[in-house]
Structure 1
Amino acid sequence: MPARAGALSALSVSEVAPGVFVHQGLYEEQSPQNRGDIANASFIVGKDAVAVIDTSGSFKVGRELHAAIRGVTDRPIKYVINTHMHPDHVLGNAAFKADSPDYVGHHKLQRALAMRADSYLQSNKLMLGDEAFEGSEIVLPTVLVEDKLSLDLGGRSLVCEPQKTAHTDNDLIITDTATDTLFLGDLLFSVHIPTIDGSIKGWLSLLDELATRKAARVVPGHGPPAMEFPGALDAERKYLSTVASDVRKLIADNKTMSEAAKTAALSERADWKLFDTFHVRNVTTAFAELEWD
């Protein structure tokens, strides 16, 4: 399929398992040039229907994801599932409104998106520019997942599981039972540095739990279209563990947050793209949480 050639072209996708397609986002910040195409977006084709998992960072990229789906199948798009609230995963939702899908998310997603809607729209319009941002809007979930929820696509089911606070307070993981493919959203970053918008302690605890699960493959929120599991978790766990241990030591040594931001986990810089963009924010977020341990 053609990739990013024009407004109505289809996004490039990889079939990582039978009926499971993933578009790989760029390792970049949002910009007019990439139009918010910086996160992975996926779709799963069943005998009766299609489910989309995350829709990228703008209406225009969402339309190209829609075109990619139509290049594979004409089956109805029944579900649009968001793994969490961040704009690079949800601002393409509006491209699917004409399909009248159920919009599925964590039970805290609706409130989180509603609270941040204005700031998300303003900041992303500023980053993307008027032309790339045009048509983007916040579409709230219509199906809220409070416990395990199974979605039937015909011949295959997707199991949605809400998580405790980790990357955010509204992380949802999805398993395609037909292929044993696990979708972790931004609970898993690869190459792109992880970003903390929830709890570093909760995230590390969840990674320990996830490492005991079995899956044929995992789709990260940022990174390759698919990775081996659970080995895919190792680099992220090392980064977050290093941040936590360094910050705890600095707190014990009576260092300030600004001092911690200059030194904590700098040993990790060479292993991650966008380190200088997001690392200091991660350290300050971790410091604010861990100083009360």
Structure 2
Amino acid sequence: MFEAVVMLCAGLDGAPCRAALLPGYEAADLTRCEAALSASPPDLSAFGVPSAPLCQPGGEGLETVEIAEGVFVHAGLIEEPDPDNRGDVSNLGFVIGAESVAVIDSGSARWIGEATWRAIRARTDKPVSHVILTHMHPDHVFGAPVFAEAGAEVVGHARLSRALADRQANYLDSLNRLIGVGPMLGTRMPTVTMPVDSGITLDLGGRVLTVTTWPLAHSPTDLTVYDATTGTLFAGDLLFHDHAPALDGSVLGWQAALTALRGLPAARVVPGHGAASLPWPKGAEALEHYLETLLADTRAAIAAGTRLGDAVQTIAAGEAPHWHLFDAYNPRNATVAFTELEWE
């Protein structure tokens, strides 16, 4: 299999370069790939001034596991983004219907979207009709433009566009620093083309996905995706497993969302971080216990008159043995919870 790429470089000679996939030009041989490029030249304006596109043997696809019929998940590493993992630190997946494919979340960088595209193409030639972003955090959104270039709608919470616009410079600067300029080449902010106010259904052909938005919870922009055909719930970061939870919204809202999600007749859930799949609702129990502890300890600290700076050292400290990266996330969670509950 051959694919079309464009070479992107960070600067002058000696700067990092990367071959970026141009989706939709895959062909069984070089001649057909080149003919497709000639017949329909790609728009390269978003890449600045890259080299001319060319065809080369196909690259590596993202490793995925089929957790239910037609439902595939890639489990990211439980790590902070760094040059070794190139930002592959969150879960994503795709669902194949009779007519099209939907992608759920897309990783920290364009290269992850490209590798996901290859993983899809290894299993089906059906078009990717939608890429659904479960929330605003950068480790879930930056691969989406790959699918948009191939004609997919970018689906997100009605508040997602504004949230990304307000944060895009900080997100990109941070990822370039943490991951490195080379792996980030070609990465840009996605444009939401299908904003969701409360909920919608997406028909992939005999397979309907229910997309539901949530009030302030893990973040201000959370949504979930439910595949009734297999009973699979994509929870985004409304569910963490092993990876320490990250609170960027409301602890009370997060608890309310999890309670409501328990009403779904789901058989399994895909968390935003951790295992590719967990049984539902049992898979939520560890997070529910953490949030209960966070809430109780925060209220106790406030009632005792403890200063915020001191309280964050002890709130939910007993949960530390149960979560990776606990020290990186719990102090912020305690700060957000304290601020929310201080005047309740």
Q: Which category of TM-score, normalised to the shorter sequence, fits these structures?
A: over 0.9
Q: Does 1:82 pair with 2:133? A: yes
Structure-2 separation of matches of 1:202 and 1:140: 27
One-letter identity of the residue aligned with 1:115: D
Give secondary structure in 1 for the equivalent of 2:212: strand
Deviation at 1:178, TM superposition (A): 1.3
Q: Aligned residue pairs: how many? A: 288
Deviation at 1:292, TM superposition (A): 1.2
One-letter identity of the residue aligned with 1:144: P
Structure-2 separation of matches of 1:227 and 1:235: 12
Deviation at 1:98, TM superposition (A): 2.6
Q: Does 1:136 pair with 2:187? A: yes
Structure-2 separation of matches of 1:150 and 1:111: 23
Give secondary structure in 2 for the equivalent of 1:30: coil
Q: Deviations over 1:237-264 (max 9, x none)?
A: 1111101110110110000111111111
Aligned residue number for residue 3 of structure 1: none
TM-score, with structure 2 as normaliser: 0.82
Deviation at 1:94, TM superposition (A): 2.1
Aligned residue number for residue 292 of structure 1: 343
Residues 1-293 of structure 1: pairs in structure 2 closer than 5 A:
8-293=59-344
Deviation at 1:157, TM superposition (A): 0.8
**Structure 2 spans left out of the alignment, 5+ residues:** 1-17, 20-58
- Decide which moves more: 49-58 or 204-213: 204-213
Deviation at 1:147, TM superposition (A): 2.4
One-letter identity of the residue aligned with 1:182: L
Deviation at 1:62, TM superposition (A): 1.4
Does the Cα contact within 8 Å between 2:320 and 2:326 map onto a contact in 1? yes
TM-score, with structure 1 as normaliser: 0.96
Deviation at 1:283, TM superposition (A): 0.6
Give secondary structure in 1 for the equivalent of 2:149: helix
**Percent identical:** 44
Stretches of 4+ moved more than 4 A in 1?
Answer: none
One-letter identity of the residue aligned with 2:111: K
Structure-2 separation of matches of 1:177 and 1:205: 22
Backbone CA RMSD of aligned residues: 1.2
Structure-2 separation of matches of 1:106 and 1:212: 21
Structure-2 separation of matches of 1:72 and 1:260: 51
Structure ID, larger Rg: 2
